[in-house]
Amino acid sequence: MVRVGLIGCGAIGTMLAKAIDDGTVANTDLVAVFDIYAEQMEDLVKKLKHRPKAYREFEKFLKESGAELVAEAASQEAVKQYAEKIIVSGKDIMIMSVGALLDEELLKKIKTAAEREERQVLVPSGAIGGLDAVKAAKLGGVDRVVLTTRKHPDSLKDSPHFQRVVKDPEGLRDARVIFEGAADEAVKAFPANVNVSAALSLAGIGGANTVVRVVADPSVTRNIHEIEVEGSFGRMKVLLENIRHPANPKTSYLAVLSAIETLRSRASREIRIGT
């Protein structure tokens, strides 16, 4: 049994916890949860059959929980604060807020700690596909990577950039490109919306060279991601139309399923396909 600790008890963390609790993720045991929002954390624990211990202090969570793998489902800020400490304490980590890893200094610290401690850093593919093909293409040389993300304004409205550039969200009637730039800037402008661009950047040619377009489109009901890659291998286009998570429209249902599958694969003895 892999002993799992969870950071973040919101919509995504709740779904991960339930998947472990009901046996969807076999060979795992959720032993502890940590969240700065105590009420949210306590509500989650009450919903589970096998109740993990709830921690309000991170240091106690780290030292006392007995977890050997920590799943982060909180925020980019949580990755910045806790990821290196988790690895140094001798635990593996799964990072969902992958946008944080486009901070080159942070990524270097995490890589160095993981190599020194011989720990794993797991990064789910999230709400997109084709990352194995992108990694393969990079070996031969990739010239261009573009991600176009199209979401309903309701999914984007809490982001800092949306609030700066869209003065009248209710008056937005047609699709509008509200951001076009490098992925490492996109994850700052939309910290809860474009983690997919970070996963794509890490698989491909980096955050500075990956172009991201964000389209606010009031006509769509799904989170749509279109990936275009060109290089010596040829040309690839991948389109995903994702159902929004019912409890958190900023993210896609597939992103949570990806995290569940990453945990399941880590804990199983099955043949792994692609990753």
Query: What is the set of active-site residues?
Result: 225
> Cα(68)–Cα(91) distance, rounded to whole angstroms?
5
Residue 191 sits at the vertex; the CA angle it makes with 81 and 44, to the nearest 5 degrees, is 65
Strands 222-231 and 234-245: antiparallel
Dist CA 212 CA 32 (whole Å): 36
121 is written with which tokens?
A: 């850093």
**Joined tokens for residue 207:** 């955050």
Within 10 angstroms of residue 66's Cβ, the number of other Cβ atoms is 11
- The pair phi, psi for residue 68, each rounded to 5°, is -110, -15
